[in-house]
Amino acid sequence: MSNTNAFIIDRTLNAPRNLVWQVWTSAEHLAKWFSPTGFTTTIHQLNLNPNGILHYSMTSPEGFTMWGKWIFREIQEPTKLVLIQHFSDEQGGLSRHPGSATWPAYTLSTMTLTEENGKTRLQLEWQPHDASPEEIATFMGAFDSMNQGWGGTFANLEHYLALMV
C-alpha cells in the first residue's frame, strides 16, 4: 500500500474477517453503520462487481443530505476492496465536496482485511486520484478532520459488529 499522499487507517476489529467483509459490502449492513456519528445513511444502489457502483446518501441530524458514489475497481472477497469514490448528486453524477471547492474530485480507497486470531485487521488507504496539486494539498491538510469523521464511522462499525458476534 502506502503512498505519501495517503490517509491510512489501521484497526483491529473484534469480529471474523468474513463478517467484516459482509458489513462493508452489503446494502443492508452499510445503511446501519456507514456514516459519521449522528448521520443516517441510505443505500440507493449497490452492484458489487468490478465497475459496479454503490450510490448512497448521508443525512445530518439537521436534515442536510450529502450524496456519494463508489465505483468498484477490484474485489477479492474477503480480503481486498479497491474503489474510486466521489461526491455525487441525487442521480449519481459527479459533484464537488459541499464544503470545499478544492477537495479532490476523485479519491482512491484500498481496503485490506487480514484474519488474526478470530479478529480482523482492517487497513484502509485513502488518497487523491487524478488530482491537481491544490486538491492534493487540500486532502493532506484535512487529515485531522478525516481522523474525526472516520473515528465516528469506525465507532459505529465497532458497535454494529459487537451486536453481531
User: Which CATH number belongs to the domain containing residue 70 in this structure?
Assistant: 3.30.530.20
pLDDT of residue 3: 61
Assigned C-alpha cell, 126: 485513502
- For the entire predicted model, the pTM comes to 0.93
State the residue range of the domain holding 87. 8-164
When the pLDDT of each residue in the chain is averaged and rounded to a whole number, the result is: 95
For residue 141, being part of any structural domain is answered with: yes
pLDDT tens sequence across 131-159: 999 999 999 999 999 998 898 899 999 99
Q: Is residue 3 part of a domain?
A: no
Cα 145 to Cα 51, 87, 119, distances in angstroms = 29, 17, 28
Whether the predicted pLDDT of 2 surpasses 60: no
Q: How confident is the model at residue 1 (pLDDT cuts 50, 70, 90)?
A: very low
Flag whether 77 is in a domain.
yes
Q: Which three cell numbers stand for residue 146?
A: 478525516
- The total number of structural domains that make up the chain: 1
Enter the C-alpha cell of residue 55.
450510490
Helix (H, G, I), strand (E, B) or coil at 100: coil
Query: Rounded CA gap, 92 and 52, in Å?
Result: 12
